[in-house]
Amino acid sequence: MNYRHAFHAGNFADAVKHTILSRILAYLMRKDAAFRVIDTHAGVGIYDLFGDKAERTGEWREGIGRVMAAELPGPVTELLAPYLDAVRAQNPDGHLRYYPGSPFITRHMLREQDRLMAFELHPMDANRLRENFAGDFQTRITQLDAWDIFGTHLPPKEKRGLVLVDPPFEEKGEFSRMVQSLEKAIKRWPGGTYAYWYPIKEPDEVEAYVKALKKSGIPKILRLELTIRPPSTPPRLHGTGMVVVNPPFVLEEEMRTVLPILADLLSDEGRGQWRIDWVAGE
């Protein structure tokens, strides 16, 4: 599997993932106290949807392209507003060409007192990320293997915030690394919010991941999933998932409003499904 951001920017998985991200940030903004976002696999930050990598797959047309063109129910429009405002901010002429990744969506929503730490392992991507945030004192860019930060960069001094974990799944064992990193992180910062994205390609792998999370003993783990087509043989990406540890208390209700609409909008021939349940707690 290879889910490196540039090839899949703005696809259906991004639309779901970044909707969840924006709702968590919106909740953190309810209090005046500063918070910090730690983005572990940040990519380059922003993507040209007409560039070679994105055009090679064209997945954005069935993702953010559909969302931007849709007439959505009022409550859904309101919940998607922070996310779509961040997209529109990168396309001031009104024509969709540039897609903001999680660092740019986060930065768009930050207030003066908030901070972003973005990590990226790939040297070229890390350099691009630095260039894209040059001169921004609220953002710190570091080239580092994300799996090394959980024992060294937590907790943040603000004691409020989010750790977003969005691996490219270029190597085997990412599901195991996600569980191990969360177990380490929760010991250092039990009150933090953690959002872990994962692809749904082979259901057995996902269920093994969820079982490992249950065995971890970590409380308050919410699972959010959306699939756009049934599983296939040979396996192909057919869904997107995110587990959120210590989620905002409003997140489940908000996603029960949004996910059914996105499942219909983003799916192949109306075959989309969604799922919300508690892996632990509630």
φ and ψ at 176, to 5 degrees? -65, -40
Q: Degrees (nearest 5) of the Cα angle 164, 170, 174?
A: 55
DSSP, collapsed to helix, strand or coil, labels residue 106 as helix
225 in Cβ contact with 274 (< 8 Å): yes
Question: Which residues does the annotation mark as catalytic?
Answer: 166
State the Cα–Cα distance between residues 42 and 217, nearest whole angstrom: 28
CA distances from 266 to 5, 47, 94, 166 (A): 19, 20, 22, 20
Tokens describing residue 34? 């500063």
Which burial class, exposed, middle or buried, applies to 33 when counting CB atoms under 10 A from its CB (0-12, 13-18, 19+)?
A: exposed
State the Cα–Cα distance between residues 5 and 82, nearest whole angstrom: 21
State the Cα–Cα distance between residues 37 and 39, nearest whole angstrom: 6
